[in-house]
Structure 1
Amino acid sequence: MTGTVLIAGALGLVGRAALAEYEAAGWDIIALARRQPEFETRARFLSVDLTDAEACRAALAPLRDIGRIVYGALYEKPDLGRGWLEADQIATNAAMLRNLLDALEPGNPGLRHLSLLQGTKAYGVHLGQMPIPGKESAPRHIHPNFYWAQEDLVRERQARASWSFTIVRPQALIGFALGSSMNLLSAIGCYAAISRELGVPLVWPGAGARYTEATDVRLLARAMFWAAGAEGAANRTFNVTNGDVFLWQDLFPLVARRFGLEMGAPHPMSLAVLMGDKGPVWQRIAVRHGLAPWTLEQLIGGSWQFADFAFARPGQTASILSTIAIRQAGFGDCIDSAVMLDEWLAELQRRRILPA
């Protein structure tokens, strides 16, 4: 089966992976992004400001034959953690999805599925120790979250529509995107490369021992593609992770080997602070190694803040999700997280995004 899929946020971590998955499957793709892609693709790219209802209608209402939507667009505030709880961040993300659906639904009666992204903040992981494991059947957490505003909108629309939806909840997405607010891969790789350039060992900058999981964006894209065509995934929510559990500090020796570094003594420190003045160091690295012409800011976005959040959470011992539901529904893909991390670092070196 093929058709036309619209991917919102097509150059983000999730959107890029979904684009690659649908392109490989032979689908026609309409991709929404603020900029043009820096890679070759058959997708038709449109620049649309999803916060502007009138602009959405002008750009999207003429589109026809949309069979699926992958919604990966996201608005984050400069102060990442504080923004997660603020009313304007919630309202903006809800309005973006509403504007898209208002523009697309009337002219696309053949729409059959919407993939919607959430995450472990659904279980309150950003507020303190979450219940272990996080289960989709748990009552909605009391904290304010744009997830709930978007989900309520989608459930209300779906009740009178011919399409279904699937909500996916990954943890610690690993993949590549420029300027993402939550790109651990680029943060880890750039931190290691800068450490090597400065002639210092690679230091684990986190604090405590928190067992956790990750989700390869390629695996997430396969899960969303599967869910869009699986009857048992209709109008359901699924946790999606790689399938194993680890400590981030146990993966840092792998990173050190990839960059030819020794491991130094662990030292808790904020990467957002430590890396704040390292733009010139990165430019020096990029020139010497003939890397893609992007600044450190373009590569990392707000991800130093997210790395600090991922690596040091006082009082938390674990963030682990149950993936029983999606396995019982029929999707069982998995990948070793250490293998995944090394594959992705090697791939970014091959693309000359990171130095070899």
Structure 2
Amino acid sequence: MHAPMHSILNTRGPNQKYHQSCKLMGQEIKATQNVALIIGVTGLVGKELARSLTMRSEWKVYGIARRPDGFPSQGYNYYFISCDLLDPVDTMEKLSLLEDVTHIFWVTWASQFPLGSKECCDQNQAMMSNVLNAILPRAKALKHVSLQTGTKHYIPSAAPFDSGGVVYYDEESPRVLESYNFYYALEDLLRERLTSNVGWSVHRPGLLLGSSPRTAFNFMGSLCVYASICRHLSLPFVVGGARMCWEEAYIDASDARLVAQQHIWASTDDSVSLAIGEAFNAVSGSPFTWKEIWLALAAKFQVFVPEEMFVPSFTFSAAMHDKGPVWEEIVEKEGLKRTQMEDLANWWFMDAVFGCPVKILASRNKVERLGFGTSFGTVESILYWVDCMREEKLIP
């Protein structure tokens, strides 16, 4: 379907072939205008950034992650580099040779520690610092750094919550008062480290919709695994949590295609790319409720829906915690790519999504005023990504 991916998969330590490859990559920039460094290329948005940019002849793309995602690249101008960004030595060795980088897209995070913890904040800040230490001294043509965080920028990581009813947060909403938020730490680090001739922007998506087996909080993966198991075992396709989350608009969806295009727009549009620390909400558009679209999802997955679809006592964690062997049966029966249930599904995250105690709705006024008009309907996005996951043989 696509051309083979160029890969640089070396371990830490001297590697002559790796250094020769980097020199060749540096020479190839003469035929291109922009060079992207995608940090987190195997994630939901990272994959879409790579797909979009490699289809443009004026771009060359370096994709950075610890492991390749196993899917081929679309173009000849893509180079994958395996790197542990939490290791300063590995990061310096792998990335300091990329002197031709003009744009950095930061679409990853270290998720080993709980959100709102000092450890999470310190780890993510250290990871970005390692990359900047490797790139900034030698990438003299760097024009823009695009940072992805999220709409949780606007609420605390833990109770007490106080949304004051229905609030559409805009980009000027103040930071919440809490000790540790790695979103804030990364913004502050860019403000400290980047010079005035490098523009940078911040992008805040809501509930990300996309396809990747390398994402910790993977809504589409979780939803599709749940629906597939319901169908396989003839279980009712129900949902629990907070009734508000079932009946009211309380969270924004963000199609990974939209978020990727917004990163590119903010990095290259002359009217915004030179700004310092400009923030943009990255949400798909119209509000939605799960009550309105649950039947459409059931029809797509061909699962049984009882008359009462909302069951307050239902939790994904309780219903699915022992279904790993069932998923293995499905993978074997359907000839899918080999994954464990936990590679695609995060049941704690699903319970948090459907039981969210506060509304997190974001305004699109700013991006639309500045000329970015891409939007997607939520049900259309979900159905699109189901088809993508099926094409990639991740789900039946």
Aligned residue identity for 1:278: K
Q: 2:390 aligns with which of 343, 349, 354?
A: 349
Deviations 1:163-197 (A, max 9, x none): 11110001000001114111110111110110111
| Distance in 2 (alpha carbons) for counterparts of 1:183 and 1:70 | 20
Q: Is the 8 A contact 1:124 1:141 kept in 2?
A: yes
**Higher mean C-alpha deviation, range 166-175 or range 118-127:** 118-127
Answer yes or no: is 1:74 the counterpart of 2:109.
Answer: yes
**Higher mean C-alpha deviation, range 33-42 or range 279-288:** 33-42
Answer yes or no: is 1:146 the counterpart of 2:182.
Answer: yes
Answer yes or no: is 1:216 the counterpart of 2:255.
Answer: yes
Aligned residue identity for 1:218: R
Aligned residue identity for 1:123: Y
Residue 329 of structure 1 corresponds to: 370
Answer yes or no: is 1:226 the counterpart of 2:262.
Answer: no
**Higher mean C-alpha deviation, range 268-277 or range 168-177:** 268-277
Q: CA deviation at 1:349?
A: 2.0
Aligned residue identity for 1:270: T
Residue 262 of structure 1 corresponds to: 304
**Higher mean C-alpha deviation, range 32-41 or range 84-93:** 32-41
Q: Is the 8 A contact 2:145 2:199 kept in 1?
A: yes
Residue 292 of structure 1 corresponds to: 337
CA RMSD of aligned residues (A): 1.6
Residue 192 of structure 2 corresponds to: 156
Q: CA deviation at 1:294?
A: 1.3
Residue 71 of structure 2 corresponds to: 39
Equivalenced residues, count: 346
Aligned residue identity for 2:87: D
- Secondary structure of the residue aligned to 1:32 is strand
| Distance in 2 (alpha carbons) for counterparts of 1:290 and 1:125 | 43
| Distance in 2 (alpha carbons) for counterparts of 1:292 and 1:139 | 44
| Distance in 2 (alpha carbons) for counterparts of 1:33 and 1:284 | 30
Q: Is the 8 A contact 1:179 1:297 kept in 2?
A: no
| Distance in 2 (alpha carbons) for counterparts of 1:112 and 1:202 | 48
| Distance in 2 (alpha carbons) for counterparts of 1:22 and 1:213 | 26
**Higher mean C-alpha deviation, range 260-269 or range 45-54:** 260-269
- Secondary structure of the residue aligned to 1:5 is strand
| Distance in 1 (alpha carbons) for counterparts of 2:54 and 2:156 | 34
In the TM superposition, what are the counterparts of 1:155-234 in structure 2 within 5 Å? 155-158=191-194, 160-210=195-245, 211=249, 212-233=251-272, 234=275
Task: Give the TM-score normalised by structure 1.
Answer: 0.93
| Distance in 1 (alpha carbons) for counterparts of 2:225 and 2:83 | 30
Bigger Cα Rg? 2
| Distance in 2 (alpha carbons) for counterparts of 1:240 and 1:63 | 29
- Secondary structure of the residue aligned to 1:75 is coil
Deviations 1:301-327 (A, max 9, x none): xx322211111124x3x3210111111
Aligned residue identity for 1:304: W
Task: Give the TM-score normalised by structure 2.
Answer: 0.84
Answer yes or no: is 1:92 the counterpart of 2:123.
Answer: yes
- Structure 1: stretches of 5+ with no match in the other structure: none
Q: 1:29 aligns with which of 61, 64, 89?
A: 61
Answer yes or no: is 1:281 the counterpart of 2:326.
Answer: yes
Answer yes or no: is 1:306 the counterpart of 2:342.
Answer: no
| Distance in 1 (alpha carbons) for counterparts of 2:362 and 2:156 | 11
| Distance in 1 (alpha carbons) for counterparts of 2:353 and 2:370 | 29
Residue 101 of structure 1 corresponds to: 132
- Secondary structure of the residue aligned to 2:168 is coil
| Distance in 2 (alpha carbons) for counterparts of 1:155 and 1:231 | 20
Deviations 1:135-174 (A, max 9, x none): 111122112200111101101223x342111100010000
Q: CA deviation at 1:207?
A: 2.1
Q: 1:130 aligns with which of 129, 148, 163?
A: 163
Q: CA deviation at 1:114?
A: 0.6
**Higher mean C-alpha deviation, range 242-251 or range 322-331:** 242-251
- Secondary structure of the residue aligned to 2:243 is coil
Cα 1:179–1:30, aligned 2, differ >3 Å: closer, same or farther? closer
- Secondary structure of the residue aligned to 2:172 is coil
Residue 294 of structure 2 corresponds to: 252
Q: Which of structure 1's runs of 4+ aligned residues deviate more than 4 A?
A: none
Residue 54 of structure 1 corresponds to: 89
| Distance in 2 (alpha carbons) for counterparts of 1:126 and 1:339 | 30
| Distance in 2 (alpha carbons) for counterparts of 1:130 and 1:18 | 33
| Distance in 2 (alpha carbons) for counterparts of 1:198 and 1:116 | 42
| Distance in 2 (alpha carbons) for counterparts of 1:249 and 1:285 | 28
Cα 1:2–1:218, aligned 2, differ >3 Å: closer, same or farther? farther
Q: Is the 8 A contact 2:209 2:220 kept in 1?
A: yes
Q: CA deviation at 1:247?
A: 1.4
- Secondary structure of the residue aligned to 2:184 is helix
Q: Is the 8 A contact 2:280 2:367 kept in 1?
A: yes
